[in-house]
């Protein structure tokens, strides 16, 4: 024993405080010892993420894939997470060239730790697991995480979406495309039972069920074509349906488009009076269906959706989208009687990322928000303290709450692979596949290689393979930059892609042989879906700077950015002669294709319907995938510039984003979703 004095380390462990009694530490005094321990110690993923100026999911990925020095101490229901600031700093210096080539981390302020004690915390942890120790159990407030264990609410074949609890929380309504996956209808079931009751059976798509406050009725939307829907009403036990009105709405999405006022007298629905306007929230009396405006979003953005009415009925939370599909933030609006705004809406979050839905806690103190495929807990009175709910997992959306602190949400799984279609005979075959997701394939200029994105390693990355899909290899360790929508340079020596150094989307360039990515864009705006000009001098891209999605271009070597479009646009592509730019409007599943001269002039609509970014140009026309039907089936088509005719090339059910034509014009690459499904999950006593 050195110095003859034992010491104690207090480790906060959820419901209890653990005190580990150890020995053999120099006699320095209890207060000094505890002060030094706290100065170099981080005790949770949240603290580690804050110290590295990243989110929790990123640092967890770094631990698995990059060897981030984190210690997991067994014991209790969950392992204790510990890290030392000094070790994190050392790891960062050795790793930052790969992780952040252009943006150094701003380290948090730290205090020098006495060298003789730098390892005492890890010694204590080892003693705690290997030798008898003394545990002092000090009761504390029960943590919210204890109640965040989710169980399946449904596990049917197909896709179950959009849960809505009955007022007593005992039943749940949802949309389901059935065991055959043919059509979405409305179902209801007891939360504790397996078999559901089918409420609708119309051949059209029924979505977004919401339970009336008295528990007697369920309102829902019935799609009438692209962007059109009927607001319907049916008894919660089934029976005759009643049409209330028609609206111009977003259609199938991951956010709530319909809600009841708490007194049950009015409905709130997402609607836009004309295609030129953004979507807003409107209210109506089910017996007198006259739409009254509730929100007035700014022009240029996609508008408002994701409706969530507070338990007391005095507020409504919603997502305001200013750029691409779902990219926006959470807003809060105070209401007067008859769902009239009491004051302008207040912005709660400043994430500038995909934020598509929310649910209120039963006490109205916080919101559970769906953002970037995870759920977050946002306190209404302190929204800057948003916490990611890690224990529920990822790829989650559409939260719904009920009395007694019940929370339901959608858990999705997806397997997308890369296929090719023969232009000659329409035959299709799979080229690149894994059990994860492959997307946005692009033939190299010489046609010998394919560039694409994949998350087969657990992190999103850029990958290369031969034309037949063999010899796949990752193009450098860029997974932490969240790469997307890659494009080749005309000479095949470099690639440009979307990347993320913060919550904002940027553009990066790197050598096709690998190496260090170079950041092209800066600023508080999203820059995405780049395309290289055919002469190699320019890079076109979409950006929402100024709050409105537009097409821009900039020199490939960096320099001044020039705006191309005036009335909105996204996902640009230059024509073969370099005179026109083609781009998507509305930037979502329900999109149209437009063109405008590079030198300036009037824009013109080219295609009425195109599936997200699923189009590519040739000298003679456009290959594209139009909006799919209710079952996800669609076709690969060719639009001929000279004849103005559309020709079906191949059947490409459940196509994803991105198309690419081989240089010889014989095949077209596309992404196909080969396996997809979703279940409803439920967490009890969720606080």
CA 440 – CA 453 distance, rounded (Å)? 6
Kindly provide the residue ranges of all beta strands, DSSP E only, lying in 257-405, ordered along the sequence. Answer: 258-260, 267-271, 280-285, 288-293, 303-309, 315-321, 327-334, 346-347, 353-360, 366-371, 374-379, 382-388, 396-402
- Cα 430 to its chain centre, rounded Å, is 27
- CB-based contact 519:510 (threshold 8 Å): no
d(CA 647, CA 668): 14
Tell me which residue of 323, 363, 369 sits closest to 349, measured CA to CA: 369
Q: Which two tokens stand for residue 388?
A: 């990611």
Give me the pLDDT at residue 272, please: 93
Distance between CA 130 and CA 20 in Å, rounded? Answer: 12
Q: Is the CB of residue 278 less than 8 Å from the CB of residue 300? A: yes
Which pLDDT does position 266 carry in this prediction?
A: 96
Of the candidates 80, 51, 55, 83, the one whose C-alpha atom is nearest the C-alpha of residue 69 is 83
Higher pLDDT, 55 or 239: 239
Sheet containing 635-640: order of strands: 615-617, 621-624, 635-640, 646-651
Backbone dihedral angles phi then psi of residue 62, each to the nearest 5 degrees: -60, -35
Tens of pLDDT, residue by residue over 448-495, are 999 999 988 877 899 999 999 999 999 877 767 889 999 999 999 999
Report the candidate in 330, 274, 322 with the shortest Cα–Cα distance to residue 302.
322
DSSP secondary structure letters along 496-507: EEEEESSSSEEE
Report d(CA 285, CA 313) in Å as an integer. Answer: 16
pLDDT digits (tens, 9 = 90+) for 147-171: 457 889 999 988 999 999 999 999 9
- pLDDT score of 79: 62
Q: For residues 358, 361, 362 and 364, what is the CA-based torsion angle, rounded to 10 degrees?
A: -90
For residue 317, name the pLDDT band (cuts at 50, 70, 90): very high
Provide the sign of the torsion angle of the four alpha carbons 255, 303, 542, 375, taken in this order: negative
Q: How many other CB atoms sit within 10 Å of the CB of residue 632? A: 14
Beta-sheet strands, E only, within 258-311: 258-260, 267-271, 280-285, 288-293, 303-309
- Taking CA atoms, 558 is separated from 64, 451, 650, in Å, by 35, 23, 40
Query: Residue 495 corresponds to which tokens in the numbers above?
Result: 């690639």
d(CA 19, CA 6): 12
pLDDT tens across 629-686, in order? 666 678 999 999 999 999 999 988 777 778 999 999 999 999 998 888 899 999 987 7
> Are 458 and 65 spatial neighbours (Cβ–Cβ below 8 Å)?
yes
Query: For position 114, what pLDDT does the model report?
Result: 35
**Distance in angstroms (rounded) separating the CA atoms of residues 333 and 342:** 8
Output the CA–CA distances (angstroms, integers) from residue 188 to 195, 234, 259, 499, 516, in the order listed.
9, 12, 17, 42, 53
How far apart CA 579 and CA 122 sit, in angstroms, is 64
Write down the pLDDT at residue 586: 73
Pick from 319-328, 492-501, 631-640: least confident: 319-328
Separation CA 365–CA 255 (nearest Å): 21
Q: How far is CA 204 from CA 224, 227, 229, in A?
A: 7, 13, 10
- Among the listed residues 618, 622, 619, the one whose alpha carbon sits nearest the alpha carbon of residue 638: 622
Q: Look-up: residue for tokens 């559970």?
A: 368
Work out the mean pLDDT of the chain and round it to a whole number.
Answer: 82
The pLDDT of residue 524: 79
Answer positive or negative: Cα dihedral of 448, 452, 456, 461: positive
Q: What is the largest CA-CA distance in the chain?
A: 94
Check: CB of residue 210 under 8 Å from CB of residue 259: yes
Quick one: pLDDT at residue 515? Answer: 86
Tokens of 25: 């530490």
For residues 258 and 232, give the distance between their C-alpha atoms in angstroms, rounded to a whole number.
11
Question: CB under 8 Å to 94, separation ≥6 — which residues?
Answer: none
Question: Tokens at residue 244, please?
Answer: 């209330």
For the four alpha carbons of 373, 356, 568 and 207, in that order, the dihedral sign comes to positive
Nearest to 686, CA basis, from 102, 18, 5, 169: 169
Please check the confidence at residue 99 and state whether its pLDDT lies above 80: no
pTM of the model: 0.68
**Structure confidence at residue 37 (pLDDT):** 41
Range name among 182-191, 383-392, 508-517 with the lowest pLDDT average: 383-392
| Mean pLDDT confidence for 537-564 | 90
Please report the pLDDT score of residue 117 as a whole number: 38
655, 659, 660, 665 alpha-carbon torsion, rounded to 10°: 70
The closest alpha carbon to 304, from 286, 334, 326, belongs to 326
Q: How far apart are CA 483 and CA 439, in angstroms?
A: 11
pLDDT at 32: 38
**Upper half-sphere CA count for residue 318 (Cβ side, 13 Å):** 29
Query: Which tokens hold the place of 576?
Result: 């073969």
Residue 356 vs residues 34, 65, 269, 296: alpha-carbon distances, Å: 44, 29, 15, 18
CA torsion through residues 196, 404, 310, 298, sign = negative
Say how far apart CA 477 and CA 459 lie, in whole Å. Answer: 10
Helix (H, G, I), strand (E, B) or coil at 508: strand
292-314: burial string, b at 16+ Cβ within 10 Å, e else: eebbebeebbbbbbbbbbbeebe
Rounded Cα distance between 378 and 68, Å, is: 28
Over residues 15-67, the pLDDT tens digits come to: 344 444 343 333 334 333 344 344 567 878 888 887 887 778 788 878 777 77
Phi/psi at 426 (nearest 5 deg)?
A: 80, 5
SS3 breakdown of the chain: % helix, strand, coil, rounded to 5? 10, 45, 45
Give the confidence band of 73 by pLDDT, cuts at 50, 70, 90.
low
Query: Is the predicted pLDDT of residue 118 greater than 50, yes or no?
Result: no
């Amino acid at each position: 024993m050195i110095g003859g004095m034992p010491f104690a380390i207090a480790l906060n462990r959820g419901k209890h405080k653990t005190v580990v009694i150890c020995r053999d530490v120099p006699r320095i005094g209890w207060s000094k010892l505890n002060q030094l321990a706290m100065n170099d110690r981080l005790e949770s993923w949240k603290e580690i993420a804050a110290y590295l100026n990243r989110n929790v999911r990123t640092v967890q990925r770094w631990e698995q894939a990059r060897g981030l020095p984190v210690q997991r101490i067994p014991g209790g229901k969950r392992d204790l997470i510990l890290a030392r600031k000094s070790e994190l700093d050392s790891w960062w210096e050795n790793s930052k060239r790969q992780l952040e080539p252009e943006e150094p981390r701003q380290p948090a302020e730290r205090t020098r730790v006495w060298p003789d004690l730098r390892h005492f915390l890890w010694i204590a942890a080892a003693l705690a697991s290997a030798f008898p120790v003394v545990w002092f159990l000090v009761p504390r407030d029960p943590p919210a995480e204890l109640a965040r264990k989710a169980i399946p609410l449904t596990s049917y074949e197909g896709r179950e979406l959009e849960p809505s609890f009955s007022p007593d929380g005992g039943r749940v309504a949802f949309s389901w495309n059935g065991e055959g996956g043919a059509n979405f209808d409305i179902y209801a079931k007891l939360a504790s039972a397996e078999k559901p009751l089918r409420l609708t059976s119309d051949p059209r798509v029924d979505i977004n069920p919401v339970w009336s406050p008295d528990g007697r009725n369920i309102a829902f939307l019935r799609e009438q074509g692209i962007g059109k829907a009927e607001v319907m009403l049916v008894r919660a036990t089934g029976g005759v349906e009643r049409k209330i009105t028609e609206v111009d709405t977003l259609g199938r999405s991951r956010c709530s488009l319909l809600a009841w006022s708490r007194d049950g007298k009015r409905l709130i629905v997402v609607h836009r009076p004309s295609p030129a306007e953004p979507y807003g929230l409107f209210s109506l009396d089910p017996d007198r269906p006259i739409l009254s405006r509730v929100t007035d979003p700014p022009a240029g953005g996609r508008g408002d959706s994701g409706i969530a009415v507070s338990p007391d009925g005095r507020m409504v939370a919603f997502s305001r989208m200013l750029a691409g599909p779902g990219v926006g933030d959470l807003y809060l609006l105070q209401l007067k009687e008859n769902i009239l705004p009491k004051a302008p809406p207040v912005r709660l979050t400043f994430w500038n990322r995909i934020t598509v839905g929310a649910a209120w806690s039963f006490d109205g103190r916080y919101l559970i928000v769906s953002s970037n495929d995870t759920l977050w807990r946002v306190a209404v009175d302190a929204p800057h303290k948003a916490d990611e709910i890690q224990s529920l997992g990822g790829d989650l959306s559409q939260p719904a709450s009920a009395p007694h602190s019940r929370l339901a949400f959608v858990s999705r799984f997806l397997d997308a692979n890369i296929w090719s279609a023969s232009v000659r005979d329409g035959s299709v075959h799979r080229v690149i596949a894994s059990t994860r997701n492959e997307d946005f394939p692009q033939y190299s200029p010489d046609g010998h290689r394919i560039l694409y994105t994949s998350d087969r390693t657990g992190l999103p990355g850029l990958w290369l393979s031969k034309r037949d899909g063999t010899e796949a290899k990752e193009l450098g360790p860029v997974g932490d930059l969240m790469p997307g929508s890659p494009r080749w340079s005309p000479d095949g020596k470099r690639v440009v892609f979307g990347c993320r150094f913060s919550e904002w989307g940027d553009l990066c360039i790197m050598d096709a042989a690998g190496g260090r990515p170079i950041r092209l864009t800066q600023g508080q705006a999203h820059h995405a879906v780049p395309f290289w000009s055919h002469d190699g001098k320019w890079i076109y891209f979409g950006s929402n700077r100024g709050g409105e999605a537009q097409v821009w271009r900039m020199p490939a070597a960096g320099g001044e950015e020039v705006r191309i479009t005036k009335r909105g646009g996204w996902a640009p592509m230059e024509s073969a002669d370099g005179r026109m730019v083609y781009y998507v409007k509305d930037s979502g599943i329900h999109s149209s294709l437009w063109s405008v001269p590079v030198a300036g002039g009037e824009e013109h609509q080219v295609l009425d319907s195109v599936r997200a970014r699923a189009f590519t140009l040739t000298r003679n026309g456009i290959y594209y995938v139009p909006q799919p039907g209710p079952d996800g089936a669609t076709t690969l088509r060719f639009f001929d510039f000279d004849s103005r005719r559309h020709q079906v090339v191949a059947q490409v059910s459940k196509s994803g984003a991105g198309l690419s034509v081989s240089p010889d014009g014989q095949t077209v690459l596309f992404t196909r979703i080969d396996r997809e499904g979703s279940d409803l999950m439920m967490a009890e006593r969720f606080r």
